[in-house]
Amino acid sequence: MTIGPDDVRHVAALARLAVPESRIPELVSQLNDILSHMGVLGRVDTSSVTAVAGAGDANMPLRADLGPPIALVHPIASFAPQLRDGFFLVPRLATHEDSGDDELSE
């Protein structure tokens, strides 16, 4: 399997990265080189092997879904880019961008 420029553009879009066109050829080359070394895995018989998600015998344990939340030393407003009434503010979704309203969304 080899990666082409459209694959890089597609993956970049999935990852929310605006990769400049000028960097695409280099990334295509580097990612193909890296992936060429992964081909060796295809030759390993894993038909009877369980896939593990963690390092131990068991898969990732989950903590109990219980509170209270962790006490914060600093208020959220000290690190949030924009906050109002306890809500993070973000620009409007693209579908609302043409409304002429520059208000931020919560």
Partner 1 sequence: MSANAVGAVLDAYRRMADVDAGPNGLNCVLWTDEARALADAAAVDALPQAGALAGVPFLAKDNIATTHLQTTCGSRILEGYVSPYEATVITRLCDAGAVLVGKTNCDEFAMGSSNENSAYGPVLNPIDRTRVPGGSSGGSAASVAAGIVRIALGSETGGSVRQPASYCGIVGVKPTYGRVSRFGLVAFASSLDQVGVFGTTVDDAALALEVIAGRDPRDATSADCPVGSYRKARTNDLAGVVIGRPREYFPSSLDSRILHLCDEALDGLRARGATVRDVSLPHTDLAIPVYYIIAPAEASSNLARFDGVRYGLRIEAKGLREMYDSTRTRGFGPEVTRRILLGTYVLSAGYYDAYYRKAQQVRTLIAKDFCDVFDSGVHLLFTPTTPSTAFEFGAKSDPYEMYLNDIFTATANLAGVPAISVPIGDVDGLPAGGQLIARHFDEQTMFRGAYALETARKAPA
CB 35 to partner 1: min, Å: 8
Cis peptide before 81 (omega within 30 of 0): no
Which residues, at least 6 apart from 3, have a Cβ–Cβ distance to it below 8 Å?
A: 28, 31, 32, 35
Rounded to a whole number of angstroms, the distance between the first and last alpha carbons of the chain is 42
- Among 2, 33, 99, 100, which residue interacts with partner 1 (rule: CB under 8 A)? 33
Q: Which residue has the tokens 């890089």?
A: 8
100 binds partner 1 (CB under 8 A): no
Instruction: Note the residues at the interface with partner 1 (CB under 8 A).
Output: 1, 3, 7-8, 10-12, 14-19, 27, 30-31, 33-35, 37-38, 40-42, 44, 46, 49-56, 60-63, 70-76, 78-82, 88, 90-94, 97, 102, 105
